[in-house]
Amino acid sequence: MVNPSDFKNGMTIEWEGELWVVVEFQQGQNARGDTFFRTKLRNVRSGSIIDQKFRDKDRFARARIEKVPMQYLYSDGDRHYFMDLASYDQLPLGDDQLGDTLKYMKESSSLDVLMYDGRALGVELPTTVELKVTETSPGFKGDTAAGGGKPATVETGLTLNVPFFVNQGDVIRVDTRTGAYVERV
């Protein structure tokens, strides 16, 4: 059991029958001297974020999330298949479990699948991924004077803003937390 004074960003707790990830927290005191904690919690299942206030006396069960290294194999409609690298078992995950992470996954990429009590919750992406630009307008000499960028589509279907010097066929690094261009590889 943990109390709010033990919270850390990224910690997973069980509260009201659901799994929640602590996004951020802040400690404070009221006029009587009682300690309280303002937190932002993200629901693991739905992805919704709520603001919640806890007292120092509150107790929570800490959820142990297991990270299983797997390889993304292929998609078949709304099902996406992953292979456990240790046992070679295949695990199907639905669109609802993966959400926006599909924009950063390409076939045969390795990543961690998050498991809790034997069931898959979703995947954890690396901070950055390398993706090939499949479509963008050509850059012209002198375009860089105004700054800014141009839209580009990568092999997974994600559209993002890239600098003018990036061309079709280039491999770029993309930040999976923000969906922003990082560098050309």
**Domain residue spans of the chain:** 4-62, 66-124, 128-184
Q: Tokens 């999330």 map to which residue? A: 65
- The answer for residues whose C-beta is within 8 angstroms of residue 46's C-beta and 6 or more apart is none
Could you report the per-residue pLDDT of 100-143, keeping only the tens digit for each? Answer: 888 999 999 999 998 888 888 888 888 999 999 999 988 666 65
Query: How far apart, in Å, do the first and last CA atoms of the chain sit?
Result: 45
Counting residues of the chain whose pLDDT is more than 70, the rounded percentage is: 95
Is there a contact between 4 and 37 (Cβ–Cβ < 8 Å)? yes
Output b/e per residue, 103-129; b: 16+ Cβ within 10 A: bbbeeebebbbbbeeeebbbbebeeeb
Per DSSP, the three-state class of 100 is: helix
Q: Which CATH number fits domain 4-62: 3.40.50.10420, 2.30.30.30, 3.30.420.40, 2.40.30.10?
A: 2.30.30.30
Average pLDDT, the chain: 88
Output Rg (C-alpha) for the chain, integer angstroms: 21
pLDDT at 46 over 80: no
- The domain defined by 128-184 folds into OB fold (Dihydrolipoamide Acetyltransferase, E2P) (2.40.50)
